[in-house]
Amino acid sequence: MKTRHIAYIMAVLALAACTKPLKFQGEYVDPQLVVNCIVQPGEPIKAVVYKSDFVYDTITDYEMPEGARAFLYVNGESKGEMQHGSDTIFSNYGLDYYYVTHHFTHDYIPQIGDVVKIKVTAPGFDEVEGSSEPLPNEPFARIAEVRMTECDSNMSTGHHYPIPDTDSTYIVWYTHYRQHLTVTLEITDPNPGALDYYCLEASMQLVGNWTYPDGSGPKNETAQIENIYFTDPIIGTSTAELEDQFGVNIGLSNRSKSTFNDATFDGSSYRLSLPMVISTLFKANDSINAYVDIKLRHLTEGAYNYYGTITSGNAYSQYYSEPVSVYSNVQNGFGLVAGSNDKTVSFPVW
């Protein structure tokens, strides 16, 4: 019993120590241009541009500096100036807040083997540029089998929600489900003798809606997805993704990913079975269909380095370890210009 008390006191002291304010000893760093662009063969090019934050900034606004211009080069040849646009990105499931990201596009459609360079200028900032390696071909992979091994419901909880435009509330019952799947995937090396880079992603999408108990009509609110993850000796254990491919913080998403290369199966095929666990939180009056998407991404080396470092930085185990330096190939600024060729397979699980 005495040992328990000592352990409890030490735990409380450790938590208290975590809240101790730190005195910053460094110097303020002026903002720099950030350029993020993942180019895919056959898809329009989109380069997101904004200014960087200082390490102690509390809000990221993703503002594009006024007067910014972007220019596209393909295989060393100028394709001219890119056009400005913007996107609204909602963060987290409840859509409590959102970001407006500004980007540049071009009507050139990239092809396999293209080397893409993007140059950005803005008043008051250094000119920056980033260049990809040759865009990769489509990955050679197939889903050999999908097998559900277990499905169980372990808890139900009720929550009161206000009815819009009234003083009343209604109860929504949530039921937790956990499903165990085994997905057999076969990957074939497309370039014997050369190192190929990949990222395997698993995500879940829901189609459907639900109706308020008072009959006020269907609402575009799908069931909540808690998590989805997988593990393999070569692929590794996936981590939840906290940022999208352009570095925008979107909160904990339902995507999990792991990067790897084909060094262990160069010139041959690798057949792997992914034990996959899916946790979902369904509303009792949902009428939905759920699908798992398995995406294999054939990456350029720059994209591989970027995803490897940003995923490590997002992992929960990294909270108490050394900071991760996210890979960047943009000169005089931050960000990434790289390539990816994706293949996605979807299958229903609910």
Contact, 241 vs 255, CB < 8 A? Answer: yes
In one letter, which amino acid is 263? A
Query: Domains of the chain by range and CATH?
Result: 33-131 (2.60.40), 140-323+342-348 (no CATH)
Range list of H helices, the chain: 2-18, 301-314
pLDDT of residue 8: 45
Determine the Cα angle at 282 with ends 294 and 274, to 5°: 25
Distance CA 29, CA 27 (A): 6
Q: Which residues does 165 contact at the CB level (< 8 Å), separation at least 6? A: none
Distance CA 278, CA 157 (A): 19
Contact, 81 vs 71, CB < 8 A? Answer: yes
Using only C-alpha atoms, the chain has a radius of gyration, in whole angstroms, of: 23
Q: What are phi and psi of 192, to 5 degrees?
A: -55, 135
Contact, 262 vs 200, CB < 8 A? Answer: no
Tell me the two tokens of residue 37. Answer: 């662009």
Q: Which residues does 254 contact at the CB level (< 8 Å), separation at least 6? A: 203, 204, 225, 226, 227, 228
pTM of the model: 0.78
**Per-residue confidence in pLDDT tens, the chain, 350 aa:** 444 444 444 444 454 555 556 665 667 778 899 999 999 999 999 999 988 877 666 556 678 889 999 999 999 999 999 999 887 765 544 445 666 778 899 999 999 999 999 999 999 999 999 999 999 999 988 878 878 777 776 667 776 777 777 888 777 666 777 778 888 889 998 888 889 999 988 887 767 665 554 555 555 455 556 667 788 888 888 877 655 555 555 444 567 788 899 998 888 999 888 888 777 766 555 566 777 888 899 999 999 998 888 766 554 444 555 666 788 999 999 999 999 999 988 877 76
Work out the number of other CB atoms within 10 angstroms of the CB of residue 340: 25
pLDDT of residue 286: 55
Determine the Cα angle at 235 with ends 233 and 237, to 5°: 80
Q: What are phi and psi of 9, to 5 degrees?
A: -65, -40
Q: Which residues does 286 contact at the CB level (< 8 Å), separation at least 6? A: 208, 209, 210, 222, 223
CA dihedral 158, 159, 162, 168 (to 10 degrees): 50
Number of H helices, E strands in the chain: 2, 19
Contact, 104 vs 44, CB < 8 A? Answer: no
